Amino acid sequence: MGSINYERLQGKLNILADAAKYDVSCSSSGSTRKNQGGSLGDASKSGICHSYTEDGRCVSLLKILLTNHCIYDCAYCTSRRSNDTPRAAFTVEEVVELTMQFYRRNYIEGLFLSSGIFKDGDYTMERLVEVAKLLRTREGFNGYIHLKTIPGASKELLYQAGLYADRLSANIEIPTKSGLALLAPEKSHEQLQAPLQTVKEEIITIKESRKKHKSAPKFAPAGQTSQMIVGASNETDLQVIQLSSHFYQKYDLKRVYYSGYVPMLSDSRLPAVGTPVPMVRENRLYQADWLMRFYGFGAHEILEPDDPFLDLECDPKLAWAIRHREHFPVNIQTAPYEAIVRIPGIGIKTAKKVVKARRFNQITLEHLKKMGAAVNRAKYFIATTGKNEHLAHLTRDNFRQYVLAQTQTKFKDQRSGQLALF
């Protein structure tokens, strides 16, 4: 460790923290803590991001690539081998040193480590595992570690990774097989999903053995996640959420992350430079994802094949309610929890409160407001003594316009710079 050249390390850090920002498996925090006398730069430039641990705590992580050298040439990636970009690679010891330095200075609570692929999957994965192993076994590092699994890495290395890391993730990158074949012909969905299957099997095996032997090692206790790039190919939102739904069921993922594509590279296969996917599309996908994970919606309910894109002006729960007025108005005094939680403007906590409170009281809009509901939205979908009767005759489109006009707010899309409705 004594032989580390900190000036060179700073140069590598600038390149490899910047290259890591395209991975949204943990989001950038915009942290602005300053370096306190050391020579390793301040927190924001060095890629501090936030993530959630096994017990739900939000932690700040040092987010870097081991290297941005890569043998692959994925069209959407700035690290692709044909891109003329400054390259760098950390040694294993450098990442360990950097993590410990940041940790001791209280800049971070953990490490998010990904990498371009040098030589092959195993060669790269071995080094990621070595970082985690040295941090845990030599440095006594007890912080959070999130490792990317590398396509093509052996099962044995994935097993080792799970012994030292809290969370593992494998990016599916492009949601459709045809999109991936066009943009990254050296890869396949099967290859990218293989680590998810291996990690899922190991998590189950180790959970079982820990039931019998408390001393059995833990394996990726914060589970596994995946990420898709949205808008680099011409996939529909329906295809995206169907794939997510499949992943949640098949691989028991903790999260799927959606990364709106920001065109940086000129390539006829990609959207033109300067035409980023609006952030609102990402937001709508996260809302749809939330509906699938917590509200009991199936992907097929959120979108249908004849209209396969999310309504950018309207959140997916409201859009579903507008399409399915036959389910409304809901009588919140008598309806089951499952129907109440589908009312736009009523979340899980409020729905539970309603079910509890209605045993003793008649629930009014005022009560709902106090319970945390967005009443300005919910009131169009609740049976309230004839107040919505004048809306019953409206066509679906007119009803949509009416409700949106009463409930929407305008905001500036940070990515496209345009005004959008939310």
**Chain contacts with ligand SF4 (rule: CB under 6 A):** 70, 72, 74, 77, 79-80, 116-117
Nearest to residue 173, comparing CAs of 250, 236, 261? 261
What percent of the residues of the chain are helix, what percent strand, and what percent coil, each to the nearest 5? 40, 15, 45
> Which of 70/270 has CB closer to ligand SF4?
70
Q: Is the CB of residue 102 less than 8 Å from the CB of residue 52? A: no
Q: What tokens does 86 get?
A: 């400054």
If you write DSSP's letter for every residue of 210-276 in order, what string do you get?
HHH-TTSPP--TT-EEEEEEESSS---HHHHHHHHHHHHHHH--SEEEEEE----S--TTSPPTT-P
Rounded to a whole number, what is the distance in angstroms from the first to the last CA of the chain? 51
**Centroid of chain to Cα 312:** 19
Q: What angle do CA 303, 191, 229 make, to 5 degrees?
A: 40
> Which of 80/379 has CB closer to ligand SF4?
80
Rg (the chain; Cα; Å) = 24
Q: Is the CB of residue 345 less than 8 Å from the CB of residue 377? A: yes
To the nearest 10 degrees (0 to 180), the angle between helices 6-20 and 92-104 is 90
Q: How far is the CB of 116 from ligand SF4 (least distance, A)?
A: 4
> Which of 224/227 has CB closer to ligand SF4?
227
Q: How far is the CB of 170 from ligand SF4 (least distance, A)?
A: 11
**Would you give the DSSP letter of residue 380?**
G
> Which of 184/403 has CB closer to ligand SF4?
184
Q: What tokens does 81 get?
A: 């081998």
Q: Is the CB of residue 251 less than 8 Å from the CB of residue 221? A: no
> Tokens 């700040």 correspond to what residue?
60
Q: How far is the CB of 4 from ligand SF4 (least distance, A)?
A: 25
- Amino acid at residue number 43: A
> Which of 60/68 has CB closer to ligand SF4?
68
3-state secondary structure of 417: coil
The whole-angstrom separation of Cα 262 and Cα 415 is 9
Q: How far is the CB of 86 from ligand SF4 (least distance, A)?
A: 15
> Which of 70/292 has CB closer to ligand SF4?
70
> Which of 72/328 has CB closer to ligand SF4?
72
Q: How far is the CB of 22 from ligand SF4 (least distance, A)?
A: 9
> Which of 153/371 has CB closer to ligand SF4?
153
* Residue 4 exposed, middle or buried by CB count within 10 Å (0-12, 13-18, 19+): middle
Q: How far is the CB of 82 from ligand SF4 (least distance, A)?
A: 9
To the nearest 10 degrees (0 to 180), the angle between helices 121-133 and 92-104 is 40
Q: How far is the CB of 136 from ligand SF4 (least distance, A)?
A: 25
> Which of 117/135 has CB closer to ligand SF4?
117
Q: How far is the CB of 19 from ligand SF4 (least distance, A)?
A: 8
Q: How far is the CB of 65 from ligand SF4 (least distance, A)?
A: 8
